[in-house]
Amino acid sequence: MMEPRRIPFNAPYFTGREFDYVQEAIKNGHFSGDGPFTHRCERLLEEMLGAPRVLLTTSCTHALEMAALLLDIAPGDEVIVPAFTFVSTANAFVLRGARPVFADVRPDTLNLDERQLERLIGPRTRAIVPVHYAGIGCEMDRILELAEPRGIAVVEDNAHGLLGRYAGRPLGAYGRLATQSFHETKNFSCGEGGALVLNDPTLVERAEIMREKGTDRARFFRGAVDKYTWVDLGSSYVPSDVLAAFLYAQLEAADEIQGARHRIWDRYHAELKPWATKHGVQQPLVPADREQAYHLYYLVLPSAGARAQLIAHLHSRGVHSVFHYLPLNTSPMGQQLGGEPGGCPVAEDVADRLVRLPLFNALDSDSQARVVAAVLEFDPDPYA
């Protein structure tokens, strides 16, 4: 008998138009950045986000580094980040000398727990970096209410959240700055890529300079100066127009891509509900005032043992599932920077029990049925 095909955790997606656009970019003879496709992507993202200016970058990590540069983050500054996130959320600010202050997450949405902020904000706090985990918005009204009167900048790490909404407004439209990722694992991708969202128009000109190696090259191309020169700090954050061409094909297909992910997410949620309820497995919560971005589907098992057994069980059924994030406060680098085991009990507990199921644009109905059937076969109770 033939082995059933293995179901990967993630698979890159092609709309089919990527090759045409890449070919067009090559024919344009503009291989470097800031060509026609870069501008088309930026205009589309500005529309999606209602943002005055979006700059395409080489990654979300680099967009976060640009945010730290733009805010003049310096040694001695503190930046509040959730403990349950990817390392770049913190690392981009640590590179400028800041100390990360790790906030625990809410047990219901796994988002930065805004109820911790008053305790964590101090005289050196310069920024708060909420992450809209799984593409479900943080409590932005409360976060802004605490940050704004104190002159603390809010930078949304919106790597998961493009096209999600909180109280009717797009995620990524709330912070002074926001960052997007177009890594292969995200909803829209060009392999490696990102964007910096500038909701504060006063930061635009300096952002253009920092993105262009600290030069006023953008001003030069607009004809505002007759030569360009070194005027500020900066680095090389501009992606090639060939990558932007690839990305444009995906951003243009946003409705189709989000529609597919929405269907997959809803099916997991509905078909696993009775099993989850019976065994005390936590499913994602989407509060009523939020529209989510359908970035990932997770389950929180009753114990670390049950999580390990479920991953092994799914593996035996040809299904690849994974877990993340190792809490930043307990990581070797996080501890070197003052993080402590036990400092973020919810993040540390959830990190041991969470599993992510395959969710990618091209996951077909039969494959998803196999994933669901394999989960339903599993009884977490003996491991609790």
Ligand X SMILES: *Cc1c(COP(=O)(O)O)cnc(C)c1O
Closest CB to ligand X among 93 and 378?
93
Cα 89-216-180 angle, rounded to 5 deg: 25
CA distance 60 to 187: 13
Closest CB to ligand X among 308 and 337?
337
Closest CB to ligand X among 160 and 206?
160
Q: How far is CA 255 from CA 23, 38, 278, 294, in A?
A: 24, 20, 35, 12
CA distance 106 to 103: 10
The answer to whether 194 contacts ligand X (rule: CB under 6 A) is yes
82 close to 102: Cβ distance less than 8 angstroms: yes
The answer to whether 89 contacts ligand X (rule: CB under 6 A) is yes
175 close to 199: Cβ distance less than 8 angstroms: yes
Closest CB to ligand X among 83 and 306?
83
- For residue 381, the minimal CB distance to ligand X (Å) is 32
The answer to whether 293 contacts ligand X (rule: CB under 6 A) is no
Closest CB to ligand X among 183 and 320?
183
The answer to whether 189 contacts ligand X (rule: CB under 6 A) is no
Selected range binding ligand X among 57-65, 210-218, 271-279, 329-337, rule: CB under 6 A: 57-65
297 close to 359: Cβ distance less than 8 angstroms: yes
Cα 377-381-384 angle, rounded to 5 deg: 135
CA distance 363 to 73: 42
Among 45, 60, 70, 129, binds ligand X (CB under 6 A): 60
CA distance 256 to 236: 33
247 close to 193: Cβ distance less than 8 angstroms: yes
- For residue 61, the minimal CB distance to ligand X (Å) is 3
The answer to whether 61 contacts ligand X (rule: CB under 6 A) is yes
Q: How far is CA 327 from CA 82, 177, 340, in A?
A: 9, 24, 10
Among 13, 84, 86, 265, binds ligand X (CB under 6 A): 86
- Greatest C-alpha distance within the chain: 73
- For residue 4, the minimal CB distance to ligand X (Å) is 30
Closest CB to ligand X among 245 and 306?
245
Beta strands in 275-318 (DSSP E): 290-291, 298-300
The answer to whether 160 contacts ligand X (rule: CB under 6 A) is yes
The answer to whether 281 contacts ligand X (rule: CB under 6 A) is no
Selected range binding ligand X among 54-62, 138-146, 221-229, 251-259, rule: CB under 6 A: 54-62
Closest CB to ligand X among 157 and 348?
157
The answer to whether 258 contacts ligand X (rule: CB under 6 A) is no
State the pairing for strand pair 290-291/165-166. Answer: antiparallel
Among 59, 111, 116, 321, binds ligand X (CB under 6 A): 59
The answer to whether 30 contacts ligand X (rule: CB under 6 A) is no
Selected range binding ligand X among 65-73, 74-82, 157-165, 302-310, rule: CB under 6 A: 157-165
HEC profile of 166-218: ECCEECCCCCCEEEEECCCCCCCCCCCCEEEEECCHHHHHHHHHHHECCECHH
The answer to whether 159 contacts ligand X (rule: CB under 6 A) is yes
Helix orientation angle between 241-252 and 18-28, rounded to the nearest 10 degrees: 150
Among 10, 38, 88, 215, binds ligand X (CB under 6 A): 88
Among 10, 85, 258, 330, binds ligand X (CB under 6 A): 85
The answer to whether 356 contacts ligand X (rule: CB under 6 A) is no
Number of shown-chain residues binding ligand X (CB under 6 A): 14
User: 314 to 343, contacts with ligand X by CB under 6 A?
Assistant: none
The answer to whether 131 contacts ligand X (rule: CB under 6 A) is yes
CA distance 103 to 113: 7
217 close to 237: Cβ distance less than 8 angstroms: no
Phi, psi of 119 (to 5 degrees): -70, -35
Sites of contact with ligand X (CB under 6 A): 59-61, 85-86, 88-89, 131, 157, 159-160, 181, 183, 194
